[in-house]
């Protein structure tokens, strides 16, 4: 459920010289072309917003981007064949601000009959509104990111665990030599799927770097320490990105 989306925004300037204007239009058109990205992560444990959802898992994803718009799918399948997740997402980004929708489906254990919940069953989906602002897009010296995510579902069973559950996260990246370090603090403002009240539910530090095997081949890897103060659980995860 953790996804990072890269948006390309073409910037054009105004000029009185026709030739320069034509070159800028051509460059803008080039930037606006559809960009397709595909990749996958291999993780030692699947922890999402301070909650462990599965053991080791393979997590592929593909996205299509044009201008500030992005549409994609992402999934996770653990090696014990107990979890099968399929999510789609759509978003728009401009000047550091982004807004989008994510449909989470399948993050549940295999059923008694050996099958996973049906994708077409409405009860197996959680629709979430995602908003975020990256201050680094407007101020290079202040790379703070803030995101707020709200479930847009009503719990038919009346339990209320998923109804309008909200997760807010602040993140800040720094560079230490060849290692990128990402700090994150996640909280929920009220009772919901993450806790029974206002609580910190995710404190994490993630260190990433590229292992250079040959002059033309490198492999991005990361290690992440995660603590959930509310559940009093701690996790150490390792991942490889392909």
Count, residues in the chain: 242
Cα(111)–Cα(113) distance, integer angstroms: 5
Q: Going residue by residue through the chain, which has 242 residues, state the pLDDT in tens, using 9 for 90 and above.
A: 654 433 333 333 333 344 344 444 444 445 568 999 999 999 999 999 999 999 999 999 999 999 999 999 999 999 988 788 999 999 999 999 999 999 998 655 566 676 766 777 767 788 999 999 999 998 888 999 999 999 987 555 444 556 789 999 999 999 999 999 999 999 999 999 999 999 999 999 999 999 999 988 999 999 999 999 999 999 999 999 99
Give me the half-sphere count of Cα atoms (radius 13 Å) on the Cβ side of residue 76.
Answer: 28
In this prediction, residue 111 carries a pLDDT of 66
Q: Shortest CA distance to 85 belongs to which of 107, 68, 59? A: 107
Q: Are strands 179-188 and 69-78 parallel, antiparallel or unpaired?
A: unpaired
In the chain, where are the structural domains located? 18-241
CATH of domain 18-241: 2.40.160.40
Report residue 59 CA to chain centroid gap. 12
pLDDT at res. 110: 66
Q: Report the candidate in 47, 107, 98 with the shortest Cα–Cα distance to residue 69.
A: 98
Which stretch of DSSP H or E encloses residue 67? none
Q: What is the pLDDT of residue 4?
A: 45
Residues 6+ apart with CB under 8 A from 174: 180, 181, 183
Distances (CA, A) of 100 to 54, 69, 90, 106: 26, 9, 5, 20
Look up residue 233 and give its DSSP letter. Answer: E
Q: Are 163 and 150 in contact (CB under 8 A)?
A: no
């Amino acid at each position: 459920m953790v996804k990072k989306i890269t948006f390309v925004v073409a910037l054009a300037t105004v000029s009185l010289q026709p030739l320069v204007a034509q070159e800028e239009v051509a460059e803008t058109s080039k930037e606006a072309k559809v960009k397709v990205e595909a990749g996958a992560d291999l993780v030692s444990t699947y922890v999402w917003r301070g909650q462990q959802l599965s053991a080791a898992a393979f997590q592929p994803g593909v996205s299509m981007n044009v201008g500030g718009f992005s549409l994609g799918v992402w999934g996770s399948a653990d090696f014990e064949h107990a979890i099968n997740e399929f999510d789609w997402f759509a978003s728009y980004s401009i000047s550091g601000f982004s807004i989008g929708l994510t449909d989470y489906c399948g993050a549940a254990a295999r059923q008694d009959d050996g099958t996973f919940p049906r994708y077409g069953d409405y009860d197996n989906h959680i629709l979430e509104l995602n908003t975020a602002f990256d201050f680094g897009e407007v101020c290079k010296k202040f790379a703070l990111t803030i995101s707020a995510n709200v479930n847009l579902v009503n719990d038919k069973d009346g339990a209320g665990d998923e109804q309008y559950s909200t997760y807010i996260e602040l993140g800040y990246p720094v560079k230490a030599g060849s290692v990128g370090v990402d700090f994150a603090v996640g909280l929920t403002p009220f009772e919901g799927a993450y806790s029974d009240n206002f609580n910190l539910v995710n404190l994490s530090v993630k260190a990433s770097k590229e292992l250079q095997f040959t002059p033309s081949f490198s492999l991005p890897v990361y290690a992440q320490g995660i603590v959930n103060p509310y559940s009093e659980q701690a996790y150490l995860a390792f991942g490889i990105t392909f």
